């Protein structure tokens, strides 16, 4: 076992991971199932929007020329020939002197050049016919939403790699995408290693704790858009772990292990990577927690060796595994968004290495504040329940004060970012 480890910087570690380009695959799914997935095709306008000139109001479609001499003193009268609702069409072109009663969203009849709203018209019933009078001049095109005025046919509206939200789903429906091509979710396997681990349904035993990391990581995988595959827990025995890891690789696209990456007597992952013939991208990062986070590659697969410490495991996942899952999903914005924020409370610990602290964001009078958690006992636990950012506390300081400028990594922002810089 090679105990010599050279720490690399966080950004550099992220680059090492993201240089690996997974072989993404595409699947076609029903539109109704597509919310939250990543588009694997551009959405193109298959027709103009609106596809025909339409009325934005309820009113009468007429020829503006017929109103040229209309005034208070000399109202112009039209014969109302028919009524057209949305989805209906006039039975024939409009002639001079005729009006069509038209509803919001309905197609403008041929020959009509404007719509007079009900409010400015008077209706008269006479000898079984309906007439309409108007006292003002109308302009050509008035109250008509022209064909293609919102979107022209052929325009590319949303690019491949975009996450499908309600607005995108509306566009897909508009243009007849009953099925949509999206990137297949990567299957992300999770093994928790450690003889101390009990499974969630086992009673507590002396010296043991329940495997919580695997469940935490599975929720993180889901949040990142992957499909979590729980592989179980492994005792700290080389042969058992080696066989389990080796056999699982054909079952999953990405493999995560928690624990066993440190340099203790029972930290087996470095030897397992070696025996597998995997190339270790890095095994030491200049960060806290999670400095022992190790990533290895084997035949285009990435193996993420996350720490067994819960905070380190959480942070390692979000910094390194999250963008790789997003890369598998073909996202154009694979990284978490990093924003500037003010620190909401003191963080008095000296900080030799850059620290990533779970916490939450607060919006105060237009400013963004982040509150790192873990300052007192109870906060550790409640922070777990509330965390939606990682606060970045750069290394080389004796501590941070409330109001200091820091970066915050947004964990639950769906937009993501094209790049990652600290």
**Binding to a second copy, residues 315-334 (CB under 8 A):** none
220 binding a second copy? (CB under 8 A): yes
Min dist CB 39 to a second copy, Å, is 10
Min dist CB 354 to a second copy, Å, is 19
306 binding a second copy? (CB under 8 A): no
Residues near a second copy (CB under 8 A), total: 109
Min dist CB 70 to a second copy, Å, is 25
Question: By C-beta, is 332 or 397 nearer to a second copy?
Answer: 332
Stretch that binds a second copy, among 20-28, 29-37, 249-257, 276-284 (CB under 8 A): 29-37
Strands (E), 11-117: 26-30, 43-44, 59-62, 76-84, 98-102, 114-117
- State how far the Cα of 392 lies from the Cα of 16, in Å rounded to an integer: 20
Stretch that binds a second copy, among 9-17, 63-71, 162-170, 324-332 (CB under 8 A): 162-170
Q: Are 8 and 300 in contact (CB under 8 A)?
A: no
- State how far the Cα of 258 lies from the Cα of 214, in Å rounded to an integer: 7
First-last CA distance in the chain: 33
Binding flags for a second copy, 256-275, as an x/- string (CB under 8 A): ------x-xxx---------
Question: By C-beta, is 221 or 278 nearer to a second copy?
Answer: 221
Q: Which residues contact 252 (CB under 8 A, 6 or more apart)?
A: 187, 188, 189, 229, 231
- State how far the Cα of 224 lies from the Cα of 26, in Å rounded to an integer: 18
Question: By C-beta, is 40 or 70 nearer to a second copy?
Answer: 40
Question: By C-beta, is 122 or 165 nearer to a second copy?
Answer: 165
Question: By C-beta, is 31 or 280 nearer to a second copy?
Answer: 31
Min dist CB 277 to a second copy, Å, is 27
- State how far the Cα of 36 lies from the Cα of 416, in Å rounded to an integer: 13
Question: By C-beta, is 155 or 279 nearer to a second copy?
Answer: 155
Window 190 to 219, contacts with a second copy (CB under 8 A): 194-197, 200-204, 206-219
170 binding a second copy? (CB under 8 A): yes
Buried b (16+ CB within 10 A) or exposed e, 50-68: beebbbeebbbbbbbebbe
Question: By C-beta, is 152 or 279 nearer to a second copy?
Answer: 152
Q: What is the DSSP secondary-structure string of 155-212? A: -EEE-TT-B--HHHHHHHHHTT-SEEEEEPPPEEEEEEE-TTEE-TTSPP-TT-EE--
- State how far the Cα of 341 lies from the Cα of 367, in Å rounded to an integer: 8
Q: 409 pairs with which residues across the strands?
A: 338, 390
232 binding a second copy? (CB under 8 A): no
Choose which of 119, 127, 128, 176 interacts with a second copy (CB under 8 A): 176
Min dist CB 377 to a second copy, Å, is 7
Choose which of 86, 240, 275, 395 interacts with a second copy (CB under 8 A): 86
Question: By C-beta, is 87 or 396 nearer to a second copy?
Answer: 87
254 binding a second copy? (CB under 8 A): no
Window 109 to 148, contacts with a second copy (CB under 8 A): none
396 binding a second copy? (CB under 8 A): no
Q: Are strands 227-234 and 187-193 parallel, antiparallel or unpaired?
A: parallel
Residue 300 CB burial class (10 angstroms; 0-12, 13-18, ≥19): exposed
- State both tokens at 386: 């509330």
DSSP state of 151: B
Q: Which residues contact 196 (CB under 8 A, 6 or more apart)?
A: 207, 208, 209
42 binding a second copy? (CB under 8 A): no
382 binding a second copy? (CB under 8 A): yes
Question: By C-beta, is 377 or 421 nearer to a second copy?
Answer: 377
Question: By C-beta, is 41 or 58 nearer to a second copy?
Answer: 58
105 binding a second copy? (CB under 8 A): yes
Min dist CB 86 to a second copy, Å, is 4
Min dist CB 314 to a second copy, Å, is 7
Q: Is the peptide bond before 111 cis (omega within 30 degrees of 0)?
A: no
Choose which of 60, 78, 177, 328 interacts with a second copy (CB under 8 A): 177
């Amino acid at each position: 076992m090679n105990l010599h480890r050279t720490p690399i910087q966080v950004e550099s570690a992220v680059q090492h991971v993201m240089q690996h380009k997974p072989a993404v695959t595409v699947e076609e799914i029903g539109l109704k199932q597509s919310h939250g997935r990543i588009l694997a095709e551009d959405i193109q306008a298959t027709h103009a929007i609106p596809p025909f000139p339409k009325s934005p109001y309820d009113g009468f479609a007429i020829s503006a020329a017929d109103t040229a001499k209309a005034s208070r003193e000399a109202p112009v009268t039209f014969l109302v020939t028919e009524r057209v609702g949305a989805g209906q069409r006039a039975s024939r072109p409009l002639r001079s002197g005729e009006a069509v009663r038209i509803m919001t969203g309905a197609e403008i009849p041929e020959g009509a050049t404007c719509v007079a709203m009900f409010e400015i018209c008077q209706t008269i019933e006479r000898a079984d016919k309906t007439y309409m009078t108007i006292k003002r001049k109308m302009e050509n095109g008035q109250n008509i939403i022209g064909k293609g005025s919102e979107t022209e046919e052929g325009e590319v509206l949303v690019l491949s790699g975009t996450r499908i939200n309600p607005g995108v789903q509306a566009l897909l429906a508009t243009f007849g995408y009953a099925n949509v091509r999206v990137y297949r979710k990567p299957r992300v396997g999770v093994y928790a290693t450690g003889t101390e681990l009990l499974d969630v349904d086992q009673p507590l035993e002396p010296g043991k704790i329940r495997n919580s990391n695997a469940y935490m990581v599975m929720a993180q995988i889901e949040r990142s858009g992957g499909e979590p595959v729980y592989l179980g827990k492994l005792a700290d025995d080389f042969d058992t772990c080696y066989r389990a890891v080796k056999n699982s690789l054909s079952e999953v696209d990405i493999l995560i292990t928690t624990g066993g990456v440190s340099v203790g007597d029972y930290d087996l992952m470095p030897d397992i990577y070696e025996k597998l013939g995997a190339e270790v991208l890095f095994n030491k990062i200049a960060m806290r927690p999670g400095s022992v986070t190790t990533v290895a590659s084997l035949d285009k697969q990435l193996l993420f060796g996350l720490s067994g410490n819960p905070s380190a495991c959480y942070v390692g996942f979000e910094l390194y595994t999250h963008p790789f899952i997003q890369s598998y999903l073909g996202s154009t914005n694979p990284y978490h968004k990093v924003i500037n924020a003010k620190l909401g409370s003191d963080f008095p610990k000296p900080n030799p290495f850059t620290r990533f602290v779970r916490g939450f964001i607060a919006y105060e009078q237009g400013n963004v504040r982040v509150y790192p958690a873990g300052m007192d006992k109870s906060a550790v636990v409640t922070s777990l329940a509330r965390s939606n950012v990682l606060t970045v506390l750069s290394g080389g300081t004796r501590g941070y004060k409330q109001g200091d400028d820091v970066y915050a990594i947004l964990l639950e922002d769906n937009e993501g970012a094209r790049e990652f810089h600290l």
